[in-house]
Amino acid sequence: MTQSGGPGSPGSRLVGIAGPSCSGKSELARWLSQATGAPVLNLDHYYIDLAHLPLEVRARTNFDEPGSVDRDAILADAAALRLGRAIHAPQYNFATHSRTPGDEIITPGPLVILEGLFALYWPELRELLALKLFVEAPGEVCLARRLARDVVERGRTPESVRWQFETTVQPGARQFILPSQAHADLVLSGTEPLKGSCRKALEALHSLG
């Protein structure tokens, strides 16, 4: 699949969207993409491939700490997008915790949206971002959304979702994700109407000139 965007641009502005799992990052990214025509790079697809491990071992892996993703690849692809160069982004199967064959060509235009848990975590990545957004939501809301998503889309049991949320998701959010809110240019609510949050994000984008 190829995202739309102007090829060969002299440079692109990157917008980073971070926040806890199921806080509303992806919805905000999709809405902004529709409103601006900007392609979206999902940083969660940079999880390290665990296909060499038994499935039960993969399921017990901590996916909520920065070492679970390929930081170097994220930084390299973000830098390329910032320079207006197309990238071949990896694709990830969240049901099997493994990379899928093929990739996604992301061709940058004037604006590119990067969204994921660690979008504001690394200083090197933050330096590439023209606008840094953080989406917050209460833990109970994130858990309810994660239950609805993972049971239907990822074949998980409610018990496994709750176990993962309590053992890695919440601790990881407290240690790595929530502190990155301090680096945001704008903090948005993941429980308020999406239209209002998107309007605020667009206003912040327009203020960049």
Question: Could you read off the pLDDT of 8-49 as tens digits, one per residue?
Answer: 345 899 999 999 999 999 999 999 999 999 999 999 999 999
Which neighbouring-strand residues pair with 124? none
Strands 87-93 and 129-136, how do they pair?
unpaired
Residue 77: what are its φ and ψ, rounded to 5°? -70, -40
| CB distance 41 to 115 below 8 Å | yes
pTM for the model: 0.89
Residue (of 19, 5, 25) closest to 120 by Cα position? 19
Residue (of 3, 2, 33) closest to 17 by Cα position? 33
Each domain of the chain, given as residue ranges in start order, spans 13-206
pLDDT given at position 154: 81
pLDDT given at position 28: 97
Give the DSSP per-residue string, 61-98. S--SSGGGB-HHHHHHHHHHHHTT--EEEEEEETTTTE
**98-116: average pLDDT:** 94
Residue 5 has pLDDT above 80, yes or no: no
Residue (of 136, 89, 137, 91) closest to 112 by Cα position? 89
User: For 49-66, how does the pLDDT look when each residue is reduced to its tens digit (9 = 90+)?
Assistant: 998 889 888 888 889 999
pLDDT given at position 10: 57
**138-161: average pLDDT:** 90
**What tokens does 134 get?**
């953080």
Report the CATH superfamily, name and number, of domain 13-206: P-loop containing nucleotide triphosphate hydrolases (3.40.50.300)
Query: 70-103: b or e for each residue (b if 16 or more CB lie within 10 Å)?
Result: bbeebeebbbbbbebbbbebbebebeebbbeeee
Residue (of 15, 13, 31, 26) closest to 135 by Cα position? 26
**161-176: average pLDDT:** 94
Query: 143-177: b or e for each residue (b if 16 or more CB lie within 10 Å)?
Result: bebbbebbeeeeebeeeebeebbeebbbebbeeeb
How many Cα atoms occupy the beta-carbon half-sphere of 175 within 13 Å? 9
Which neighbouring-strand residues pair with 113? 15, 40
Residue 191 has pLDDT above 50, yes or no: yes
